[in-house]
Amino acid sequence: MLTPTEISKIEHELQHVPVKKAAVIEALKIVQQERRWVSDENVEDIATLLGMSADEVDSVATFYNLIFRRPVGRHVILVCDSISCWVMGYEDLKKALMDHLQIHYGQTTPDGRFTLLPNACLGTCDHAPALMVDNDLYRDLTPGMIKNILDKYV
Amino acid sequence: MEAPLTSNIKPGVSLDIKTYEATGGYQGLRKAMQMTPQEVTALVKESNLRGRGGAGFSTGMKWSFVPMNVEGPKYLICNADEMEPGTFKDRWLLEGNPHQLIEGMIISAYAIQATTSFVFLRWAYKQAAQEIRKAIAEAYAAGYLGNNILGRGFHLEMHLHTGVGRYMCGEETALLNSLEGKRAVPRAKPPFPQISGLFGKPTIVNNVETLSYIPHIVNKGIAWFQSLSRTGDGGTKIYGVSGRVNKPGAWELPMGVTMRELLEEYAGGMQHGYSFRGALPGGASTDFLTSAHLDVPMDFTSVAAAGSRLGTGTMVVLDDHTCPVGFVHNLEHFFAQESCGFCTPCREGLPWTEKILYALERGEGTEEDLEQLDLHTRLLGPGNTFCALAPGAMEPLQSALKYFREDFEQHVHEKKCPYGNYTH
Amino acid sequence: MATIHIDGKTYQVKEGRNLLETCLSLGLDLPYFCWHPALGSVGACRQCAVKTFRDEQDTKGRLVMSCMEPVKDQLRLSISDKEAAAFREQVIGWLMTNHPHDCAVCDEGGSCHLQDMTVMTGHSYRNYHFSKRTHKNQYLGPFLNHEMNRCIQCYRCVRFYKDFAGGKDMDVFAAHNHVYFGRHRDGILESEFSGNLAEVCPTGVFTDKTLKQHYTRKWDMTYAPSVCQGCGLGCNIIAGERYGSLRQITTRYNGAVNGYFLCDRGRYGYEFVNSSRRIKQAAVRALTGTDIGTAEVLQYVKDKLASGKVIGIGSPRASLESNFALQQLVGRPHFHLGMSDTEHDLTTLALKILRQGHVRTPSMQEAATADAVVILGEDLLNTAPMMALSVRQAVNRQPAQEAMNTTHVANWQDAAVREAMQDKHGPCFILNVQPTRLDELATVAYQTAPETIARIGFALARALGAPLAGINDLTDQEQQLVTQMAAALMNAARPLVIAGYGSACEGVLRAASNICEALHQHAKPSMLVLTTPECNSMGLEMLGGLRLDSAVDAVMNGEADTVIILENDLYRRLDKHAADNFFRRCKEVILIDHLYNATAEKATVLLPAGTFAESDGTMVNNEGRAQRFLQVYAPATTAIQESWRWLLQLGRVTNCERLRNMEFFDDVIHALTQQVRCFAGIEKLTPPADFRIAGQKIPREPHRYSGRTAMLANISVSEPKPPVDGDTPLSFTMEGYRGEPPSSVIPFFWWPGWNSVQSINKFQVEIGGSLHDGDPGKRLIEPGGNGQLTFFTDVPDHFVACAGHLQLVPLYHIYGSEELSVHTPGIAERMPAPYIMLSPEDARRYQVAEQHQLQVAVDGHPYTFMVKVNPALQRGMAGIPAGLPGTGIVNMPQMAKV
Ligand SMILES: Cc1cc2nc3c(=O)[nH]c(=O)nc-3n(C[C@H](O)[C@H](O)[C@H](O)COP(=O)(O)O)c2cc1C
Ligand code: SF4
Ligand code: FES
């Protein structure tokens, strides 16, 4: 069941679109913001609210890599794996992250604290390598900086 | 040296409406509103402003295809999806001077008589999202947006849409699908978006940098715009350099500076112990240029003549310690991941090239694999695929195979990566 | 017309179409996947690449996708161009990177478009040596199997399922080379047209699950052209057999009738043919226990017919020939039509309207060209499913035209036209007793009693200028609806009105006729579709005969005591208590039928009839189109034979003058056309039995048919002599003429290099057009316009709820309402349980809620049902699922006491 807050936020978005289903990406974002990921049930609820079928909603949801259709940890780490970062030491950074967290890409730490994901270019190539934790961007990284950064997130 | 787009931007702050107005902001809009929409379009067309999103299409020409006498809504969209690896120029404008973009959008919307506009912003630009949201609110409050703008009877709504990933969203027709709440797969052209775009209505999509230029062109005129440039393509351009250089960064410079100037004067030359082997001049989907091209002026025409594309003007440098095979492997991995999955050559061909490159890096590649790569660069060319993603993906690969062939062959013959830095 | 040059040759072709369909129409081979003639072009697969050249000087050319390029005058293109050919080969190479190469165990193998295209492009060597992606498969219900690893991502499935057929519960998921075609979660595909996926999918992702249960390769089946028995529309089917059981039904393309598709009832409802309830031996109840053969049974029947007062009861699901033979045997004055009285009245009226009115009834393909639709009292997806697909296309007509005008792209540019159309629909009005699944297309969907629907229809006819009395008790909303419909119909170029048996109300048909007659007075080329309940209802009505209630009367008052019942279960024509009474009074009941049903329980003599798959026959669909179905295979035992053949035998033993000298199918047809003038011409529906091409018959089996010498070796090592077909120009073997037969007797579609259903391209005059030498079938009814029919004036009275009573109305179900299809387990699985549907007011009044039991009395006999509540239903009315096994109430509408 969607919460009243989610519903009212989605309904607000509906004002900006000529047809309800055009708001589906907004709706998915809203739900993900509240719950960190979007479950099958959430997909079905969004579908009902927007007069779509669950299949239509899921078709869109599964297309976009930043809509999470599986549970993620409290914090999502997105590591830029694109060219400038790769040239500037991405491989070492990635290894340091995996060693530190003891997980691979696509996995969540057993304490549910972090999910580690690769991400295409973060648009900060002049400060490579870079990563994002939730909404925070970290740049000009070296493997040694990982621990201090992650310690901030509980 | 004039830098109209960026000279007012201060590091770490975003120009608010007051400061922006104090620097001459929204004067272009006032001026434009004294003109007819057709006059604005004609002016932009005459200025020969070429789109900064990568393809370099004439902006005024694009606008002129919008049918002006049809009923119903029209849309203006700012493409702020900036996801081309190696590209970080729009971010500067979005975070530093959002009103410049908004003003450009209002003028452009006026020119095509659009009543609704969107900024399609990529997800990662959190800071930019905040600044734009704030700036749009300020513009509404100041009467630059909403009903009866500047008392001229023109009406425009503006919304910020933040994406949820996928490079394809930057392709203008896929962007439209995404804005409609659909999967970001491209559309066939014709019909062009100018005729049938967002929700099937006439629509213009322009890049951030393109739109940010509009107020200045309207304000200061065509002669001024052209005088900024060293070449036939008018204006300044935001150039960037990333890779093993001393001072990676972005600069607004006259259109047509040379690669050498960029590398040596602005980026401070190669880092100690590294030397230059080549560069993608305008983002991940452009062909390599090498030291033989260092004096090529960085404008649309000259870079094309040198066998590449100006693209986004943000250069990624390949140094002598980095494996060119690994370099293109990283790129092809990106493109394969970001294929939307609609057309066969792109969906299936890119993962194939990615796998070959990976095999080469691990020392498992063969001569036949190199032939397959050559074949793919030919078969995934423009027109063979549904949109420009795969042809773009082939540009660095085909030029790497041309300029760094010996590296590829070395991988095959030595059965290992000579640089020792293969990707896992 | 345009002149184009293909590989140096010059052709005259139609302008505006795309290059792919143009090349295919010219008979040239060009591979494709994402394009489908009914779905248009999207340019996804890149398989159809050709080169075009600017002019004669241009030698370099440009690679283009032929499905996305319009024909232009003086266009130059090359299919054989080396670069284009190499690209096409590589497209297969790409598709094969993830395809499992499991043809040997794939149901599609041997009839696979992907295999054909692979061979066509010459791709034979695998260069890709990396791993493949794999997918999980889904459970999609009883009809379709899912094997996603075989997918080549052509997007046809979703384009058919969603865009064309309006399905909601299937889609494409994920991105890049992970794209997945299926459902959000495992589950039954809801669309009534899901089975078409098995034909639309060019590879083995979606395959026919019922076929899988008795799998046979396409080349190993014996086929015949046939006609669907599922409803009154008469879609054309191909039926395939092996080892004496019917294995599969596929679409038989007919450019005028069903085009490329079928509904799931039609495709899957065939299992009754293989049912364990089949009557396999002739039997006499009085002689059970004694070992008797057909001859003894015939002797017994002969005696009874000689001593009894005999009447015959025909059937709307039996062929014209069988009904005619019975009519001849018993004599016209003793032949009854065997329809329920309501269906009889509705069909009589429909025939009268079509014959005497000025308005033409369209084929399904013509109906799809309408640009405004009014549906009165019909839940099409349940009463005439395929017509709903025509309506779907019709409602797109207006917005698609607008889109083409603004975007200047052709109608086959599917994605572009849909984008420009958005969710717009042309005018469509659906008036029914309860909401229908088609309502999402409707400009207005309105629910009310059938009588009120009729009254609204009369008011609409009057609003269109018909000289009718005003109807002054419509609500404001109804008045407005009338105005709105009138405007929409007047604005349309080709308005379509649909009504029929679904409403069980003659007034609704009269109203529909009036509307069209009124439009006719404005010189509008309007179209009128009247649905009919069964596959040969219209044919039976045209043949003529007495009502069923007169048969009941005759038996009840002793005028008759011996009945011959032809392919009919009277428990589906009469309420249970009425049927029980009837049989109690009959001395002899001689039943010729194929399934052991409730009537068979009462029969004193059973004569095993062939099903459609074991018989030749003719049927007339709702459009008045006579169509021939041919026998697929010789029945398992010689005891089973066509009903008409039984009747001819009875004629012989009883020395019936009227059946003299008839032995073969052609003899019956000849007599029929001689005696019943309206059937003139049906002898030409298929060539006669002695028709030969190059001295040869047309083989029912593909030339690749295998195992013939061994398949019955467990019974006898020597190969049995194949049965001889004296009734049709078809042979039961693979021997015969290998070329293209006349369109009406094509047993299967196959062409060198084209083993899949896509081979149909090779049999059409142009892509999507008629078959060579015309689409099979012959329209027997054209508008009379002889002034006999103008306007009906008898407006039905307003429906008034009656205290303590409920007016029972039939509600139809695609799965459940039809007699034979429910013998397919998958269809039975999707059948509802019997119910009574009430309005919330009545539920309150009778103090019942959803799932409760409610007892009603019909003619003093009690019937109990589970309650369903539907807010759209009128107070005083109750819906009963029509034809559903176990309901017992047939005669509807009628009053029931609560
Ligand atoms: C795969 C792909 C990705 C693209 N991404 C972007 C992008 O992120 N930003 C952008 O402005 N243009 C992008 N483009 C180019 C746009 O399609 C379009 O040409 C551009 O937004 C037009 O703006 P302009 O005329 O101002 O250059 C992309 C093109 C392709 C094929
Ligand atoms: S499942 Fe079949 S129809 Fe659907 S995309 Fe795959 S190959 Fe095409
Ligand atoms: S059939 Fe032409 S691109 Fe698929």
Check whether A86 has a pLDDT greater than 70: yes
Beta carbons of B352 and C174 less than 8 Å apart: no
Q: What contacts B400, CB < 8 A, 6 or more positions away? A: B288, B324, B325, B327, B328, B408
From the CA of C33, give the closest atom in ligand 2.
8
Check whether C785 has a pLDDT greater than 80: no
Residues in chain B: 424
List, as one string, the DSSP characters of C366-404: HHTT-SEEEEES--HHHHSHHHHHHHHHHHHHHHHHHHH
Residue nearest to ligand 1 atom 20, measured at CA: B53
C371 and C443 Cβ atoms separated by less than 8 Å: no
From the CA of C179, give the closest atom in ligand 2.
5
Q: What contacts B376, CB < 8 A, 6 or more positions away? A: B349, B352, B353, B394, B397
Q: B342 touching C, CB under 8 A?
A: yes
Phi, psi angles (nearest 5°) of residue C500: 160, -155
Strands C62-65 and C49-53: antiparallel
- Tell me what pLDDT residue B1 has: 80
Check whether C786 has a pLDDT greater than 70: no
- pLDDT band for position C288 (50/70/90)? confident
Residues of chain B with Cβ-Cβ distance to C97 below 8 Å are 348, 351-352
From the CA of C201, give the closest atom in ligand 2.
3
**Out of B49-63, B326-340, B378-392, C290-304, which region has the weakest mean confidence (pLDDT)?**
C290-304
Distance C200 CA to ligand 2 centre (A): 8
Q: How far is B368 from chain C (nearest CA, A)?
A: 9
For residue A52, give the chain C residue with the closest CA.
Answer: C168
C364: helix, strand or coil:
helix
Question: Which ligand minimizes its atom distance to the CA of C204?
Answer: 2
Over range C611-632, report the average pLDDT.
98
**Out of B17-21, B281-285, C291-295, which region has the weakest mean confidence (pLDDT)?**
C291-295
Beta carbons of A54 and C184 less than 8 Å apart: yes
- Tell me what pLDDT residue C289 has: 75
Q: What angle do CA B319, B320, B322 make, to 5 degrees?
A: 70
Q: C149 touching B, CB under 8 A?
A: no
Q: Give the residues across from C628 on adjacent strands.
A: C618
| Residues above pLDDT 70, as percent of chain B | 99
Burial C344-378 (b: 16+ CB within 10 A, else e): bbbbbbbbbbbbbbbbbbbbbbbbbebbbbbbbbb
Question: Which ligand minimizes its atom distance to the CA of C154?
Answer: 2
Q: What angle do CA C797, C801, C805 make, to 5 degrees?
A: 125
Type of residue numbered C413: Q
Integer CA distances (angstroms), A96 to A90, A103, B358, C297, in order: 10, 11, 22, 91
Check whether C263 has a pLDDT greater than 60: yes
Evaluated on CA atoms C764, C765, C769, C770, the torsion sign reads negative
Q: What contacts A150, CB < 8 A, 6 or more positions away? A: A77, A100, A101, A114, A133
How far apart are the two ends of chain B, measured CA to CA in Å? 46
Domain ranges for chain C: 2-95, 103-271, 354-532, 805-897
Nearest-CB residue to B200 (from C95, C413, C419) = C419
Beta carbons of C94 and B344 less than 8 Å apart: yes
Strands C861-869 and C894-897: unpaired
Over range A124-136, report the average pLDDT.
97
Separation CA C61–CA C131 (nearest Å): 36
DSSP C530: E
CATH of domain C805-897: 2.40.40.20
- Tell me what pLDDT residue B424 has: 42
Q: Is C153 in the pocket of ligand 2 (CB under 6 A)?
A: yes
Residues in chain C: 898
Residue nearest to ligand 1 atom 29, measured at CA: B171
Beta carbons of B340 and C90 less than 8 Å apart: no
Rounded to two decimals, the pTM is 0.97
What is the Cα Rg of chain C in Å? Answer: 28
Integer CA distances (angstroms), C824 to C271, C286, C613, C636, in order: 5, 32, 15, 20
C396-410 pLDDT, tens per residue?
999 999 999 999 999
Which of B47, B84, B208 maximizes ligand 1 atoms within 8 Å of its Cβ, making it the mutation to test the pocket?
B84
The token pair that represents C507 in the structure block: 């007034």
Check whether C698 has a pLDDT greater than 90: yes
Q: Whole-number mean pLDDT of chain C?
A: 96
Separation CA A110–CA A101 (nearest Å): 10
Q: Is C877 in the pocket of ligand 2 (CB under 6 A)?
A: no
- Tell me what pLDDT residue B172 has: 97
Nearest-CB residue to B349 (from C63, C94, C130) = C94
Q: Is C33 in the pocket of ligand 3 (CB under 6 A)?
A: yes
Q: A55 touching C, CB under 8 A?
A: yes
B122 and B169 Cβ atoms separated by less than 8 Å: yes
- pLDDT band for position B70 (50/70/90)? confident
Beta carbons of B338 and C91 less than 8 Å apart: no
Residue nearest to ligand 2 atom 8, measured at CA: C154
Q: Is B195 in the pocket of ligand 1 (CB under 6 A)?
A: no
DSSP A32: H
Q: What share of chain C is helix, strand, coil (3-state, %, to 5)?
A: 35, 20, 45
Q: Whole-number mean pLDDT of chain B?
A: 96
Separation CA C737–CA A143 (nearest Å): 78
Check whether B423 has a pLDDT greater than 60: no
Position of tokens 């005497």? C356
Which one, of B210, B160, B234, B258, lies nearest residue B5 by Cα?
B210
Evaluated on CA atoms B101, B103, B104, B106, the torsion sign reads positive
Q: Is B194 in the pocket of ligand 1 (CB under 6 A)?
A: no
Residues of chain A with Cβ-Cβ distance to C185 below 8 Å are 40, 54
Please state whether B343 falls in left (phi above 0), alpha (psi between -120 and 50) or beta.
beta
Distance B347 CA to ligand 2 centre (A): 14
Check whether C830 has a pLDDT greater than 80: yes
Check whether C716 has a pLDDT greater than 90: no
Check whether C787 has a pLDDT greater than 70: no
CATH of domain C2-95: 3.10.20.740
The token pair that represents B412 in the structure block: 């095959």
List, as one string, the DSSP characters of C168-199: -S-EEES-GGG-EEE-SSS-----TTGGGHHH
Beta carbons of B195 and C49 less than 8 Å apart: no
B157: helix, strand or coil:
strand
DSSP C718: S
Q: How far is A81 from chain C (nearest CA, A)?
A: 18
C770: helix, strand or coil:
coil
The token pair that represents C754 in the structure block: 């084209």
- pLDDT band for position B207 (50/70/90)? very high
Beta carbons of C408 and B368 less than 8 Å apart: no
Distance B386 CA to ligand 3 centre (A): 10
The token pair that represents B58 in the structure block: 């004439």
Over range B139-160, report the average pLDDT.
97
Phi, psi angles (nearest 5°) of residue C698: -100, 125
Q: How many CB atoms lie within 10 A of CB C475?
A: 11
Beta carbons of B165 and A65 less than 8 Å apart: yes
C541 and C307 Cβ atoms separated by less than 8 Å: no
Beta carbons of C177 and B383 less than 8 Å apart: no
Beta carbons of A55 and C175 less than 8 Å apart: no
Nearest-CB residue to A43 (from C180, C183, C184) = C184
Q: How far is C18 from chain B (nearest CA, A)?
A: 14
How far apart are the two ends of chain C, measured CA to CA in Å? 69
- Cα B138 to the chain's mean position, in Å? 27
B347-380 pLDDT, tens per residue?
999 999 999 999 999 999 999 999 999 999 999 9
For residue B370, give the chain C residue with the closest CA.
Answer: C127
Separation CA C501–CA C266 (nearest Å): 19
- Tell me what pLDDT residue B421 has: 61
- Tell me what pLDDT residue B422 has: 52
Q: Give the residues across from B253 on adjacent strands.
A: B237
Question: Which ligand minimizes its atom distance to the CA of C19?
Answer: 3
Separation CA A14–CA A24 (nearest Å): 9
Strands C144-146 and C76-78: unpaired
Nearest-CB residue to B199 (from C87, C153, C422) = C422
Position of tokens 């009447």? C311
DSSP B84: S
C656-694 pLDDT, tens per residue?
999 998 999 999 999 999 999 999 999 999 999 999 999
Over range B7-15, report the average pLDDT.
93
Question: C805-897: same fold as C2-95?
Answer: no
CATH 3.40.228 fits C354-532, yes or no: yes
Q: How far is B285 from chain C (nearest CA, A)?
A: 18
Strands C2-6 and C76-78: parallel
Question: Which ligand minimizes its atom distance to the CA of A123?
Answer: 1
Beta carbons of C184 and A55 less than 8 Å apart: yes
B210-239 pLDDT, tens per residue?
999 999 999 999 999 999 999 989 999 999
Size of interface A-C (CB pairs under 8 A): 37
| Residues above pLDDT 70, as percent of chain C | 100
For residue C400, give the chain B residue with the closest CA.
Answer: B200
Evaluated on CA atoms C204, C210, C215, C218, the torsion sign reads negative
Question: Which one of A52, A125, A134 would you mutate to disrupt binding with B, by most B Cβ within 10 Å of its Cβ?
Answer: A125
Type of residue numbered C50: V
C504-543 pLDDT, tens per residue?
999 999 999 999 999 999 999 999 999 999 999 999 999 9
Question: Which one of B123, B319, B361 would you mutate to disrupt binding with A, by most A Cβ within 10 Å of its Cβ?
Answer: B123
Q: How far is A54 from chain C (nearest CA, A)?
A: 6
| Chains sharing 3 or more CB pairs under 8 A with chain A | B, C
Over range C172-187, report the average pLDDT.
98
Beta carbons of B124 and A122 less than 8 Å apart: yes
Type of residue numbered B340: C
